[in-house]
Amino acid sequence: MPDAVRRVAVALPRPLPTPFDYCLDANVAASPLRGCRLRVPLGRGETVGIAVDEAQVPQGDTGALKSVLERIDAVPILQGELWSSLVWLARYLHAPVGEVLATALPASLRQGAALPETQAHGWRLSEAGHTALAGLRAGAPRRFAELLATREHSEEDLDARHPGWRAHARSLAKRDLVERIKIDAVVAAPTVPPPVLNDEQRAAADAIASNESFSVALLDGVTGSGKTEVYLDAIARTLARGRQALVLVPEIGLTPQMLERFRTRLGVPIHALHSGLPEGERARSWTAALRGQARVIVGTRSAAFVPLPEAGLIVVDEEHDGSYKQFDGIRYHARDFAIVRAKALGIPIVLGSATPSLESLHNAQAGRYAHLRLHRRAGSAHPPQVRVIDVRKRPLQAGLGPEAVAAIESTLAAGGQVLVFRNRRGYAPVLLCHDCGWSAQCRHCDSPMTVHGAGRRLICHHCGAQRPVPPACPQCAGLALQPQGNGTERIEEFLSQYFANVPVLRIDRGSTQARDGLQKHLDALGTHPGILIGTQMLAKGHDLPNLTLVVVVGIDEGLFSADFRAGEKLAQLLVQVAGRAGRADKPGAVLLQTHHPDHPLLQTLVTQGYHAFADGELAEREAAGFPPFAHMALLRAEAKHGDPVMHFLQAAKRHAADVAIEVHGPLAAPMPRRAGYQRMQLILSSPSRAALQSVLDAWVPLLYAMPEARRVRWSLDVDPADLY
Ligand code: ADP
Ligand code: ZN
Ligand code: ZN
């Protein structure tokens, strides 16, 4: 075909239902393009897309196709299993493939940056350094030289253990006493030996290791039962087989403490991937995984997208955690996608939790997952004593009843630490006029504004709007404006006055932006008596061996939520928070304050435990036709005015009529107005996942084509985490 041209379909990071066609000039290299990044013109600008398909077409057939501007990758960066899993994901979520592929890439690669250097480097003493060592002046540079005199050290190791080393390295390198060398990724041996696993851990570890092909194991073990030791055992065996391991952890579980534990126990560099990393490091970890240099990758949600050319094992820690579900853009579930990938890769996957999701328990009960149980805490720790405290008619100070205050007092007197858990940031959830009943509402959302700054500012937690607390009631001009209820700031105010002689640390998104900041606070506290006040940021991740009392306040709103998952989430949170108490050899106590001491959720949970609660909840979900017994998709739409939203959803509903599914709505969203947008939704549900998928296959292209769709912002959420 002398007059043929190459036409390439490019998936663009835009909400477009299909890829865009471009043509390729002769000067673009001819090797296969699929999975390579291409810079292409779009509108008046340009963007980076990914080639999905190419064909030779006769010259005349290319019409007005624009030309690809640049081929960025000589070889595909998305390929093999990851490529096919991502294409599967786009189909399953009914999301634009270009957006799914872009989501899989670290931001700099998405924007077209070259793949970064991933060669690991280390430092060693030069020959001149060995000679000069004895004559060096005492001080930090000399200590650094002495460290290198024993053996070479990787930069990763130095970063982790010898802060400030770079300055010494620079000054010594100027005199040629030390030198930077390339090292293999796998260097050191484990520096900390593993504990002897107890019988249940051994059995779980052996069950996982018995299998090198695809299988799902639910590692269901109480908090502190040593699940992490089971993961480490499985990862060590995976490394020994010459394979890579991927470990997913919740957003707040990925702490420096945890990475250090993995590093010292496994003896290989740990490649971290989380939202707090500088972009360059994210791209480096991702690329090191692509090149097979990263052997252990530990990351949060988006790490589910790392390439694993030599995959051997995937672990999902705290598999029930809500942070695995992405709430905007591409609404994937990292745990579920990890299972899909493990299947495609033909490798085992371990889902661990003290409070497994109802989905996973259901799968284990149905025999689809191996159910591995750890019933007891490892080592010498005992389970905490949980007491429900009835606070009806009791005097409360910042939400704390007399029993709680007395228990805090005696715990501190005995030298222990206390965690007061309140899942509400700010000073108070509501500002109310005691004279006329006016309360401060957000102007853009159907939601009250939260009082912050010791009662001086109002902030909307949904849209971020802020304004000062008014000097007088805007409705009656009275001066009786009062903050109602208690957030973490107000509890902190009370406790730091009441217990003035011990440190009181508030730990929530307001007080602690950086992950390392939190660790610094905790290090400063050490094991001294003190009080921590926290939201769910504190529910896991940090080992607090001297924490012997947990007080949980303000859970009652969770007992009566309309969300079908609210009970499950509350039960998980309570068990996880309770699990913070008494981690080491000191017994722990948990006080649950409530106005509803007889509520069945609390009763079942406290007297019979999480699994009894889960069994009851599963039976209710089955009777009501909710997940995991039904599969759902949620079509959300919003606009400045309500009419277009209603019209769009009504039209969408007409197109969705199908015997295999139920369609509910259009319904107002639980928060009908947010950030100035009117919000409504349509719920599709079916007992059969396949039936729902086939309806969506036909329906979603129609949504893109509907004229009503152009007047709203809409999104589809397959397997929604909640109906919000
Ligand atoms: P989980 O991940 O289930 O919360 P961890 O693996 O963090 O539990 O273990 C809890 C504590 O018990 C840790 O301090 C850990 O070092 C210790 N531990 C775990 N397994 C053993 C064991 N077999 N022998 C002694 N200590 C153990
Ligand atoms: Zn008033
Ligand atoms: Zn708002």
Kindly report the number of other CB atoms within 10 A of residue 714's CB atom. Answer: 22
pTM of the model: 0.90
- Ligand 1: residue whose CA is nearest its atom 10: 224
Rounded Cα–Cα distance for residues 407 and 84 (Å)? 56
Please tell me the predicted confidence (pLDDT) of residue 648.
96
> Helix, strand, or coil here: 252?
coil
Please tell me the predicted confidence (pLDDT) of residue 710.
93
The DSSP output letter for 430 is E
Q: Compute the CA torsion angle 583, 588, 590, 591 (nearest 10 deg).
A: -150
Here the tokens at position 385 are 């004593």
Closest CA to 122 of 243, 258, 269: 269
Please tell me the predicted confidence (pLDDT) of residue 588.
85
What are the per-10-residue average pLDDT scores of the chain (724 residues)? 77 91 80 93 94 81 83 94 97 96 95 90 88 86 88 80 86 90 65 89 96 96 93 96 96 82 88 88 94 94 97 97 93 98 98 97 97 88 85 92 95 93 90 94 93 90 93 94 92 95 82 61 83 74 79 85 87 87 76 92 92 96 94 96 94 88 91 93 95 95 93 96 77
Q: Ligand 1, from 229, 255, 585: best to mutate by most atoms within 8 Å of Cβ?
A: 229
Cα 450 to ligand 3 centroid, rounded to whole Å: 10
- Ligand 1: residue whose CA is nearest its atom 25: 379
**What one-letter code names the amino acid at 353?**
S
Cα 377 to ligand 1 centroid, rounded to whole Å: 8
> Helix, strand, or coil here: 70?
strand
List pocket residues of ligand 1, CB cut-off 6 Å: 195-198, 201, 221, 223-229, 378-379
Provide the CA 266 distance to its chain's centre, in angstroms: 23
Rounded Cα–Cα distance for residues 47 and 330 (Å)? 19
Residues 6+ apart with CB under 8 A from 87: 97
Task: Kindly report the three-state secondary structure assignment for every residue of 104-159.
Answer: HCCHHHHCCCCCCCCCEEEEEECHHHHHHHHHCCCCHHHHHHHHHHHCCEEHHHHH
Rounded Cα–Cα distance for residues 511 and 607 (Å)? 35
Q: Which ligand is nearest to the CA of 434?
A: 2
CA angle 633/696/698 to nearest 5° reads 160
Please tell me the predicted confidence (pLDDT) of residue 61.
66
Please tell me the predicted confidence (pLDDT) of residue 1.
46
Please tell me the predicted confidence (pLDDT) of residue 561.
79
Length in residues, the chain: 724
CA angle 228/194/537 to nearest 5° reads 30
